[in-house]
Chains A and B, each alone.
Chain A
Amino acid sequence: MVKIKRENLAELYKLISAEKSLFVPAKKAGQTNYALYGADTEVDLDTLKTVKSAKELFFPQSETLYNVKTVDNKYTVTQAELQNEEFVVFGIRGCDLKGIEVLDKVFLSDPVDSFYKARRENGITVALSCNEPEESCFCTVFGVDPADAKGDITATLCGEYLYMKANTEKGEKLLSDCASLTEAADESEVADEKAKIAEILKKLPYANLSLEGWDGTVTEEKFNSPVWEELYKPCLACGTCTFVCPTCQCYDIKDYKTANGIQKYRCWDSCMYSDFTMMAHGNNRTSQLQRFRQRFMHKLVYFPANNDGMYSCVGCGRCVDKCPASANIIKVIKAFSKEVD
């Protein structure tokens, strides 16, 4: 374990960004999102949750898949280049890290998504502990320890220092590259901070949220429940929850007409959108109730069914913060536990 003075972090960013692309939580026009580090980046480690999760660094909101040139009615297809250089994601929180685990299940399962895989292989994550968890956080429910997030490097802010510990070879390598700026430290130096965080976690309003009754085997019971009828009503059918969610991975593949042909790109899509499943001859989810249900059933039932019980929710609480209609996964889980009572 090494440490670096907080005031020297700028030096660290410079050092890393000189070699690799460095993504940091950056404040722009009042909001914090991940951004490529540059000279005028306002790094923001205080904001707990970036608006968009770190998902976008591995599965960008839009990315080109391939280009087709059309000349004289003949096509030439060129696949977009895969990520082939290492990059660093600095300040990723435990929940987002868990989100990436969820995405791995999707994109790294057969057939492997090479675009995602290339990013995963080249991405180095520096995970940052959450010193001040917020009321909407419930990551502990999904087994995340926000005080000790296992990225390639685990970082903890404590007092005047940022402590870093490598968990992987990639992490080791990065730390050794930065050795000129760091000094040795002992694990015990962060113990108090971790204990403090653990105490706060216990006090969070959602700390005791129970997932009892949710697993891959309850499709029929949950699917047919009348509870949805009530729950979906406020939903505006926007995609906020989906787009801020670290695990939502639905996408659309679209054409863009360029001067010489077509650029095929994929972009995030939302199962909350009314045209998500629309096709020429019908739509298998015609009501918002169905679409709302699909999102939560997928996260809490279908996904665990296919992935050894792993939920497709990490308890980051972004939907709690951001849903314009205040409908969120907590309300869904609670509504069902109420029904059980």
Chain B
Amino acid sequence: MHGIGVFVCHCGSNIAATVDVEKVVEMAKLEPGVVHAEEYQYMCSEAGQEKIATAIREKNLKGIVVCSCSPRMHEATFRKCAEKAGINPYMVEIANIREQCSWIHKDVEEGTEKAVILTRAAIAKVNLNTSLVPGESLVTKRALVIGGGIAGIQTALDIADAGYEVDIVEKTPSIGGKMSQLDKTFPTLDCSACILTPKMVDAAAHEKITLYTYSEVEKVSGFVGDFTVEIRKKARYVNMDKCTGCGVCMEKCPSKKAPSEFNAGLNNRTAIYTPFAQAIPNVPVIDPNQCTKLKTGKCGVCEKFCQAGAIDYTQQDEIVTQKYGAIVVATGFDVIKLDNYDEYAYSQSKDVITSLELERIMNAAGPTKGHLERMSDGKHPKNIVFIQCVGSRCNDSKGKPYCSKICCMYTAKHAMLIRDKYPDVNVTVFYIDVRTPGKNFDEFYRRAVEEYGVNYVKGQVGKVTPEPDGSLTVHGVDLLENKQLKVSADMVVLAAAIEPNPAVRKIATMLTASIDTNNFLTEAHPKLRPVESPTAGVFLSGVCQGPKDIPETVSQAGAAAIKVVGLLAKDKLLTNPCTAKPDELRCNGCSVCANVCPYGAISYEDKLINDHGVRETRRVAAVNSALCQGCGACTVACPSGVMDLQGFSNRQIIAEVDAICR
């Protein structure tokens, strides 16, 4: 191609400090095909874009190279700019001379040399660019929310209120999530259930919302605007239409040995159960691992007592296939397993508990009916020690490297509530730092210390040892006093780190959404697109994206909802034109490409081909460009190079290689 323009951005001093931009311009001008090169302070600015547009028009440019930040940042900006100036937006290439050059190199000579090479590679590539035109695809006006916690509920409500159909898939028998297990919420100390249940009811009652509880996403295919999802509705063994929610079955069920998930395993539930009293839907499920009838064929008590005749032991899992335009992941979190923290005697003593367990103990609907009791002997504890950062902010492989964010505040809440209700109890908190950035957070913490006399000790706990008398000795340090401490306690509460729900891995894989090393879902941009996943049409809500508290979760849920609504409001979407394209003239029709296509986008047809004057009917590959996502697997599988990827063609990449290795 002849007629390439090169535009080098200073990015203030971000680039210009380590790259001699003038040199880059000068070197670019020597490249074959380049007819224009210039530099500017901020190419992405209005004025910078105007410079590009002017050059395109005046110099009759056919393609442009912008040497600037990562294409993940501004490729779209410059494409739009090029399009406005009259050339195809895909005639733009970006040389990443900021993230991959100026920011990592200190030496100007070195940085400049590399920038020149990167520019050369981009010029070599743009040389072979061709105009591409995106196709269109229709948008299914329905959204799927995976996870029925507060994040999922709020997202669904917001989408539904905007007038779109939403389905919530929740794997447990009831929506509500972790928030339903909480007693009070910080920093306002209002009752968690009181604020959550109305939302649960709203969701259940909303005409645009369909709940799939006790269900899991089985398979996802398709792409933004047109996902096809298979949902497995696990067998409840209770007919949802017939059940009245009277609860007799649960009263009569003789199998009472299953640990209650809702009560964090602190007490047991029956084999047929609803997780909690306010469960929505208020229809029990039979736990097939616990039910005597399902395991041995004998019993059948619940069926006998069910007036509505809702019990159905023959029920099977059911697969529902539904189409969606957008998918929101709201899979939430779990408390980490404390297997690695033997030093705190969690597995040895029933009186070493996690904060979530304490939450259940404090709750009127909990195993102790809200009385503060030791789980070992039911005695009222006199001394309680809280240990912070158990598994959070951990540099070794035992725990998590990140801050779980909510622990400081809920510990303050717990301490305050205990001191308020039981002034006789001494509360000691061992902490590394107390982190209270949030509205009214620090005030809240200070009240705990100042008004409620909670004893905060800056320092870590090395060990908790159960004593023969049933008490616990906490071996810690007081960093401020610089001394070893031994504190006797009746109960120890561990602020265990939170981690993304383990199910998210499988879901992310199905959605092809990326995950970071801690299994949190990655956002499309950490700052500017925090509720979108890099996979188009997939959005993030709640803790699956990173630790956050309830108000943050709710606001993110709303943000995700508006993104979904924005997507569903469109009738058509433009598809990525960088799709695979076969050269029919040379295609063997061998099917190897179709074998590796993850989207089933390749089919074969018998076609009349005119091969340099020879006409014959041949079996050739055809790509459905609406299905093709442009991964390129087929292009490598094809031995004759017949299948090529537009925008990343074989010759383009080869040209880049050549330019780099010159």
Task: List A residues at the B interface (Cβ < 8 Å).
Answer: 70-73, 257, 259, 278-279, 281-283, 286
Contacts and interface: CB of A to CB of B under 8 A. Distances in A.
B658 interface: yes
A283 B658 contact: no
B30 A282 contact: no
A281 B613 CA distance: 8
Interface string B27-49: 00110110000000000000000
Contact of B612 (A72, A257, A282): A282
Contacts of A286: 612-614
B563 to A, nearest CB: 47
A71 B30 contact: yes
B32 to A, nearest CB: 6
A282 B613 contact: yes
Contacts of B662: 259
A278 B612 contact: yes
Given A257-B658, A259-B662, A72 B614 contact: no
Interface of B: 29-30, 32-33, 612-614, 658, 662
A283 B612 contact: yes
11 contacts: A70-B32, A72-B29, A73-B32, A257-B658, A278-B612, A279-B612, A281-B612, A283-B612, A283-B614, A286-B613, A286-B614
Which label, helix, strand, loop or mixed, suits the secondary structure of the A interface? strand
A195 B29 CA distance: 74
A283 B612 CA distance: 6
Nearest to B655: A257
Contacts of B613: 282-283, 286
Contacts of A259: 662
Contacts of B32: 70, 73
A155 to B, nearest CB: 49
Contacts of B612: 278-279, 281-283, 286
Given A282-B613, A283-B612, 5 more contacts: A72-B29, A73-B33, A279-B612, A283-B613, A286-B614
A298 B33 CA distance: 43
User: Shortest 9 CB-CB distances between A and B: which pairs?
Assistant: A283-B612, A282-B613, A72-B30, A259-B662, A286-B614, A282-B612, A73-B32, A70-B32, A286-B613
B78 to A, nearest CB: 25
Nearest to A284: B613
Contacts of A257: 658
Nearest to A72: B30
A192 B32 CA distance: 69
Nearest to A283: B612
A273 B30 CA distance: 39
B133 to A, nearest CB: 25
A278 B658 CA distance: 27
B31 to A, nearest CB: 9
Nearest to B612: A283
A286 B30 CA distance: 43
Contacts of A283: 612-614
Contacts of B30: 71-72
A278 B611 CA distance: 10
Nearest to A287: B614
Nearest to B610: A282
A259 B662 CA distance: 5
A281 B612 CA distance: 6
B157 to A, nearest CB: 61
Contacts of A73: 32-33
Contacts of B614: 283, 286
A279 B662 CA distance: 31
A71 to B, nearest CB: 7
A187 B613 CA distance: 62
A196 B126 CA distance: 70
Nearest to A261: B32
A70 B33 CA distance: 11
B661 to A, nearest CB: 9
Contacts of A278: 612
A73 B28 CA distance: 12
A75 to B, nearest CB: 10
A113 B418 CA distance: 103
A286 B613 CA distance: 8
Nearest to B2: A73
A58 to B, nearest CB: 33
B586 to A, nearest CB: 11
B36 to A, nearest CB: 13
B116 to A, nearest CB: 14
Contacts of B33: 73
Contacts of B658: 257
A305 to B, nearest CB: 27
A101 B34 CA distance: 50
A281 B611 CA distance: 10
A286 B610 CA distance: 12
A119 to B, nearest CB: 32
B35 to A, nearest CB: 9
Contacts of A72: 29-30
A72 B658 CA distance: 18
A261 B282 CA distance: 77
A93 to B, nearest CB: 40
Q: Which of A72, A73, A257, A281 has the most CB of B within 10 A?
A: A73
A283 B585 CA distance: 14
A72 B28 CA distance: 9
Contacts of A70: 32
Nearest to A257: B658
A70 B31 CA distance: 9
Contacts of A281: 612
Nearest to A274: B612
Contacts of B29: 72
Contacts of A279: 612
A278 B612 CA distance: 8
A125 to B, nearest CB: 42
A239 B502 CA distance: 61
Nearest to A286: B614
A72 B31 CA distance: 6
Nearest to A258: B662
A71 B30 CA distance: 6
Q: Which of B32, B33, B612 has the most CB of A within 10 A?
A: B612
B279 to A, nearest CB: 70
A259 B661 CA distance: 8
A278 B30 CA distance: 35
B17 to A, nearest CB: 29
A286 B614 CA distance: 7
Nearest to A278: B612
A222 B563 CA distance: 76
B346 to A, nearest CB: 65
Nearest to B658: A257
B25 to A, nearest CB: 14
A302 B612 CA distance: 26
A160 B416 CA distance: 114
A289 to B, nearest CB: 13
A286 B611 CA distance: 9
A177 B197 CA distance: 110
A73 B37 CA distance: 14
B124 to A, nearest CB: 10
Nearest to A280: B612
Nearest to A259: B662
Nearest to B614: A286
A71 B27 CA distance: 11
Nearest to A70: B32
A288 to B, nearest CB: 12
Nearest to B662: A259
B616 to A, nearest CB: 11
B37 to A, nearest CB: 12
A130 B198 CA distance: 105
B33 to A, nearest CB: 8
A14 to B, nearest CB: 42
A283 B662 CA distance: 36
A259 B659 CA distance: 9
Nearest to A281: B612
A257 B654 CA distance: 12
A257 B612 CA distance: 28
A70 B32 CA distance: 8
